[in-house]
Structures are given as C-alpha cells and as structure tokens.
A and B are shown apart, each in its own frame.
Chain A
Amino acid sequence: MKTLLSSNTVQSRRQFVVGAASVGSGLAIGLELPWGLPKLSAAPATQQVLPASLQSSHPEIGAWVVIEPDDRVIVRVVRSEMGQGTITGLAQLVAEELECDWSKVQVEYPSPGESLRRKDIWGSFSTGGSRGIRTSEDYVRRGGAVARQMLVQAAANQWSVPIAECFARTSFVMHRPSGRKASFGSLATQAAQLPVPDAKAIALKDPKDWTIIGKSMNRLDSLADKVTGAQIYAIDLKLPGMLTATIRQCPVFGGTVKSFDASAVSGMPGVKKVVQVDNRSVAVVADTYWHAKKAIDKLPIAWNEGPNAKVQQADILKSLEEGLANKQAFIGLQKGDAQSALNASKKTIEASYFYPFLNHAPLEPMNATALWTSSSCKAWVPTQDGQASMAAVIEASGLPAAQCDVVKVNLGGGFGRRGAFQDFTTQAVLVAKQMPGTPVKLIWSREEDMTQGRYHPIMMAKMKASFNENKELTGIQMRLSGQSILAAVRPAIVEKSKGMDPLVFQGVAKDGEHAISYDFPNIVIDHAMRNTHVPPGFWRGVNINQNAIFMECFVDEMAEVAGMDPLEFRRKYSANRPRTLAVLNAVAERMNWSSKPKAGVFRGIAQQFSFGSYVAAGCELSVTGGNKIKIHRIVAATDPGYAVNPAQIERQVSGSFVYGLSALFEQECTVKDGRIVQTNFDSFGSVRLAQMPPVETILLQGGGPSWGGVGEPTIAVAAPAVLNAFYQATGRRLRTVPLKNLGVTLV
C-alpha cells in the first residue's frame, strides 16, 4: 500500500520520526511529504531508512520559514491549494522578502492543531473570498523579512561585523566590505536561536524592486501527478485497517430520520455496521465503498420529511415574483430620487431577470477520513479551511482541542463548498466515533453531493430605467428578490445591518470591495429577502454572478435606448473611475472594438468591480439557427492591483470562465417535493473542451494600498458579455439562466 498525504508539519514530521522509533511498526501510515520533499515509504516504520534531513533538527526562522542545512527553504502556507496556485503565489511573497534562491523553495502545510497550540500563529486558514493572497500578503511578506533579518544577524554575529554592512541575496548573506559570504543553510541553526524581531518594524521592499513577485514562476505543486493521475486526493486516501462508509441524509432539507432497519443489510457482503450519524442521516460502514453503497441503497429508512416536503419550485418562484413587486425591501444603494425620475419620465424601460440555485458539484464528492479513540481524534480532510475542519473535529469528537488535529489532504475542487461548511467532516467524525480505533473514510455518493449541497442562492431582479427627451438616463431602479446567504449562515451580520444582507449587493454595493463602478444619476438598489428552505452557500463569485448579469445586460438595454454604443455608454458613466475605464479600454483595444467585426460575428462587453479587483470581458460570437451559440473568443482584462504570478492569474481567469459559462448555459438546481431534482451530471452539465472558447487575458496592475482578488471576480463578466453579444446577433434578450431552458445551446 502506498499512501500520499499532501500535508504535514515540521513538527509532525519530527513526531513521525520519533513515533516511528518508539512505536515501531504500530500504525505504519506511509507518508509522502508534499511537493518534492523526501518521501517516506509505507513500509513498517522500523524498516524505514529516513533521509538525513528528516532526522536532523529543522531550523525554524520565524514562523513562516524553515531552512535546512542543504539550503532548502521550506515556506509554510496555510491556505489550501486546489488548483488555483495559491501555494506558489504565497511562497513567492515570502521568498521575495527572504531574498532566497527560488529554485530551493518548497512549501508545506502546518496543521491547524499546531497553529492552535501556537496561539493562531499563522492566522486564517480560510481559502475563499479570493482572499488567499490579498489578505495575507502583508504578514507573509513580513514573515519572509523576519527570517531574512535573522539570517543576516546570524552572519553579522559570526563575522563580528555590524549588521548594516551585511545583506542577503539569493540564499546567501554577504558582507559588503570584505566580500565574505555564507549560505542560508550554514547560518540557519544560529539564526533559529536568535530572538524573532518585530515584523511590523521591518520595511518591506518597494514593488519596483521585486524580483520574484510578479514573475510567472512554475507551480510548486506537481502538475505531472495531476496529469498522470498519480496525485492522491482525499477520496483516494488509504490508511491501514481503514473502513469506508457512505451516508444517506434526509432528502428533504429540514427532515429527520424516523427509523431504519439495519438488519435488512447487516448480512450483506462487507458490511460492518449501520450507524445513525445524527438526527438526519444514517451511514453504512463497510470494507469498501462499493459494499457500503450497495448496502445503503438497500437500507430501509423512513424519514420525517416535515412540512418542507410540500415545497415545489413554483412556490419558490412565486415567492420571488411577489418580492419583485413588494413595497418593502432593504435598500443597499440609494443616490438621488430614482422613483421621482421614473414618475416624471415619458420613456421608461423595464426588464426582469432570473438566476437559479446552483450546486458547487466539485468533481470529487464530499468526503473525509477520521480516526477516533477515547483520547484523540484525527481527521484527514479535503478542506478549504483547515481551522473550520478542526473546529468541526473538536465539536464532533467531544474531546479537548489539544487531543484533536486535522491533516489537510488534496481536494478535488472546492468552489466554496468545502470551506464554511464542514458537515462532511462532522459526519466522518461522528461515524468514526462509533468505530473507536478504526479509521473510517466517509464518501458521499454523487447523488448525495448533488442533493445535499449549500446552493448558490436563487434570485430574480426587476430593472427599471427612465430617460429624458434627449434620451439621457435619468434614473435606475434595481430590485433584487431572493435568498440571502448570510441570513442562513451568518445571521449576526444581518442583525447588525438591521435585517439586511449586505453581501447580496456584491458588485453593485454602495461602497467597499464590491462597490458599483458606475456613477448613475438617481439610483436605488434594494433587496426583497425571500428565503427558502434550501440551504444557501458561497458559490465561487457568490452574488456577483447574478448581479453582473442583471446590471451589465441592463446597461446594454439602457445604452440601446440612449442610442449609444454599449462601450461608450459604460465609459460615460464610469468616466471618473480610471481603473474601470482602464479594463474596459484594454478589452476594447484588444478586440478592436471600434472596427466592425467579421460578417456574422457579434460582440458584447461587460465589466464589474468585485473582491477588490476591476475586471472586464468582451466576447465575439456567432449564432446559427437563432439558438446555437459559437463563442469565438473571450478577451478579459483584470486589475487586481498587484500580480504575484501573472501566468497563474491567466489560468485562473480562463478557469473561471469554464465555471461561469457552465452555469450560464447548463446548470440549474430545482426543487420538487422539498428536495433537489438534479442528482448527477446528466442533468447538471458543464461546458466541454470543444465548446470552450480561447481566452485572452490582459493583466493590469493599478497598484494602490489594497490588493484585489483573482479567483472569483472574472467569473461573472463572461456571461453578460455573451448575453449582450447574443442580442446583437439576434435581437433577442435572454434574461433567464440557464440558457438551456430557453433552447439556447453552446456549440
């Protein structure tokens, strides 16, 4: 058996070595250390020949950097890598200040338990909200700077020279007057013993002096393993003696288990135990997933489905439609008097839009592995937030925090499902708790994953605009009606906002990192909160997905009435917003917007400010038969302020369009009898390789005090660009997502 874990700490490596010596061949969990670190085989521990570097001490220089005697630099990263490249970008930030040789850099995940023991030393593990780089750039750079200073101090001490005469470059400390130099590896042990200087007192490098940040360094995680299938994801994890469980949760949200008949399946092949997990789910533990799955399919379970079983999709739509017209709503943005402008106008337009529930549907369904004993609990979790997983383990295990830990394992997609919601981790521990001493891997079936999600909220919008006799825009009303995520998952924020969910206005908010990027005269944007029994969640991009369609498609509708080119209309109302103009202009220039496209080809454009980044996208498409769209190209400009790894950003932008276009064309979750109808990819599709247009990314770096995000902002702008281009091609406004419901397909 060969097992690979993608995370381990220096401490736990030590512990492993110590444990291997003392426990002998006890629990011989094989480890392969992350990303190029020496690998331990799964042989019994007593037979292992450990690499010398693992048997030595590991000089920790500050909290973020370990330097081995052979000059390898190990950078700690606590955000989760799930393909977005965050570990590489974060390591670049540390390495820049450390002044190390990039070719010597490796990364590792400290464990959440270790972080807790060290008083939250590495800060937030949360990998969401496009925050990985932008909210930690300062302190991780300072982590590198601290380590550099300690290494330089160690050299100065060794040479008995003033520290001011020494400096660090490419993993060496130099003494300017004498020309002496010493490698980081040779200084590491002494440096590690020095007091850690005050990180805030160290001046960070000026961006113009960066040599590692801003370069398209190769990824530190193994692309080869991903391509060849060698990479082990959490679902592939194998531990000695491990059993596999699968779960069935009440298909109606809010329902509970009434009864189940374990005896009906307990004699089936491989079945070890049938357990009630909590009040709404039952699991079968077996020797293999297949045996567990066969048994749970046969397990008679009676549910108390509760009143939600009566809820139909039509009921939800009716509730949202009522919200579009209701007088009461939470005002997110108000400037001037839009109602009076509308009342006074002889020319008004109105349009209603719809955006559905969506599931994250990562390729790897929810899963987690746990080992519980009366004195400890450890879980191996594909997680976007190691600390949230740790919190779930502490709570579910019933054990003190010091006796719990979480190992972060590669995740096969996250998109917001595996961060704030740790239901699968809790369940794995609750199952393992009923199998003391035996590691249990809980795997959800695809059907469970599709029907037990935390769904992108359902939303409608009614847009109104008024114009004067000169066709000039005089007022806009935007009424959102639909579900609030925060009311369900962070009610305290809603309460603080007097009942309003401020997140619902992402991309059209009055201020902040999701502020509207137009200066329209007389505008009101409000929200009629219409919550459903379907649990909502943060789906990549969150509320910018629908708000970009609502606003950016309607901007094109307004431009038409105003008799203006859509780009010119946008420029007019963002004239005082240079960075918005810059991304719009960059796209327009690359597309040669002012020239006529080839015959049969039509263009659309859209822009938005979200997660602190300015983004715009343009597309060129053609339509055949009135409903078959071929997208020829997408041009996207993004300005996150600073670009740490340009190549990685380009890949992120392309990837975001796969996700965004899949939602636009194919995806919708609907409700029947209180449960989600779509159970697999046959009814919840995705854009395929052949459909995916080429994406050209233009990267702007506007600088400034705040850094913007990359993972989410662009996801929202491809869809309105496509819809706007479709109108140019056909004269038909598509205002309901997904387009498959309108008979429109991507070819």
Chain B
Amino acid sequence: MQRRAFFKNAFAVGGGLSMWGYSGLAALASQAGPGRDIPQAVLSWANGQPLQYGRVHLSLPPLVENGFLVRMSVRVESPMTKSDHVEELRIFSELNPSPFIANFFLGPQLPEARVETRIRLADSQAVWAVARTNTGDFWCSYQQVIVTLAACAG
C-alpha cells in the first residue's frame, strides 16, 4: 500500500502538464496507468527518487507462448541532447527468477533513446522499463504479458 501510495503521490505531484510534456498525457492514455505496485528492484534502483510514469514506451506482445524468446522494444521520449538525455534504461521483471532483465547505457551520441532486444519471461507478469536521465529523473512504464504455458504446468 505504501508503494502504491507513493506512486499516486508521484503521479499527483508530477501530473502537471508541464511535467508530462506534449505527449505525456497521450502516453498515459495509451498504456495502463499507475495503480500497480512498483517492484522492489525498481524502487531500489531509484533509491528514493520519485518515479514518474510516462515518456517510456514499452512494446511487448501481449500474449507469448512460452516466454523463451519475447521481442521487446523500448523508446523513451527524449531530445537526446547533451543537456537533456537518457543515461540509463533498465528492464525489470516482476516474476522472473532474477528481476533484472537488462541494462542499457545511452547518451547524447545517440539520435534517439530506443532499444530492441529479445528477453525471456518465466511467467505471466508485467515487465517494467525505467529510464534515468542525465538530470537524475526517473521515468517508467510497464506492460502486462500473458505467458500461456504458465497455465499448463504452474
């Protein structure tokens, strides 16, 4: 409850239009909003810094057969300039044996903050993508994925 409350507060405080940017609200509308407990691994990484929901666009198939190979792409809204860019992007799992799926280090030498890879998922769960900017802000998003095999052997 505490984590959820924290998230709600962050949302309320950061919810001003200026904070979300031009497409922040659109991003919110298109994805499941906060209201889900943030995984401990994400909180640990943020280390007390407020997590803001948005700017991160996480794309995963909503259904996967066995989770052995899941295509994932993440794009973060950022001008990727020297003064305003994403420094690090981390992918977290709620239910894999290890919550840490991937770390990407980015910088202003990149034209955009966008990565694509394949990941493994142990079970139906939400995958979280969290971006840290050079200014120390944390932006995040999550997506729910159903791993159908889970129903057979669980």
Contact = CB atoms under 8 A, between A and B. Distances in A.
A493 B153 contact: yes
B134 interface: no
B9 interface: no
Interface in B11-65: 61-65
Interface in A232-277: none
Given A131-B151, A420-B153, A395 B97 contact: no
Interface in B53-88: 61-67, 71
Contacts of B63: 112, 116, 387, 390-391, 394, 401
A24 B151 CA distance: 41
A490 interface: yes
Interface string A465-491: 000000000000000000001100110
B103 interface: no
B152 interface: yes
B101 to A, nearest CB: 13
Contact of B151 (A124, A495, A496): A124
Select the residue from B64, B96, B149, B153 with max chain A CB neighbours within 10 A. Answer: B153
Contact of B153 (A124, A394, A395, A503): A503
A124 B71 CA distance: 22
Nearest to A386: B148
Interface in A276-294: none
Select the residue from A116, A391, A485 with max chain B CB neighbours within 10 A. Answer: A391
B65 A129 contact: no
A413 interface: no
B149 A489 contact: yes
Interface string B90-124: 00000011000000000000000000000010110
B148 to A, nearest CB: 4
Contacts of A388: 65, 148-149
A496 B95 CA distance: 10
Contacts of A422: 65
Interface string A390-406: 11101100000100000
A138 interface: no
B146 interface: yes
A391 B97 contact: no
Interface in A643-673: none
Given A385-B148, A385-B152, A485-B153, A495 B97 contact: yes
Contacts of B122: 490, 492-493, 495-496
A654 B61 CA distance: 41
Size bin of chain B's contact surface:
20 to 34
Contacts of A419: 152
A568 interface: no
A554 interface: no
A720 to B, nearest CB: 24
Contacts of B150: 490
B69 to A, nearest CB: 8
Select the residue from A112, A422, A490 with max chain B CB neighbours within 10 A. Answer: A490
A129 B146 contact: no
A492 B120 CA distance: 10
A392 B65 contact: yes
Nearest to A112: B63
A485 B151 CA distance: 15
B152 to A, nearest CB: 4
Given A120-B146, A420-B66, A489-B66, A394 B152 contact: no
Contacts of B65: 388, 391-392, 395, 422
B97 A387 contact: no
Contacts of B66: 420, 489-490
Interface string A347-387: 00000000000000000000000000000000000000101
B153 A486 contact: yes
A120 B144 CA distance: 11
A391 B64 contact: yes
A496 B150 CA distance: 14
A395 B152 contact: no
A502 to B, nearest CB: 10
Which 6 pairs across A and B sit closest by C-beta, in order of nearness?
Answer: A492-B122, A126-B151, A388-B148, A391-B63, A391-B65, A420-B152
Interface of A: 112, 116, 120, 124-126, 128-129, 131, 385, 387-388, 390-392, 394-395, 401, 419-420, 422, 485-486, 489-490, 492-493, 495-496, 503, 538
Given A420-B152, A492-B67, 4 more contacts: A126-B148, A392-B65, A492-B97, A492-B122
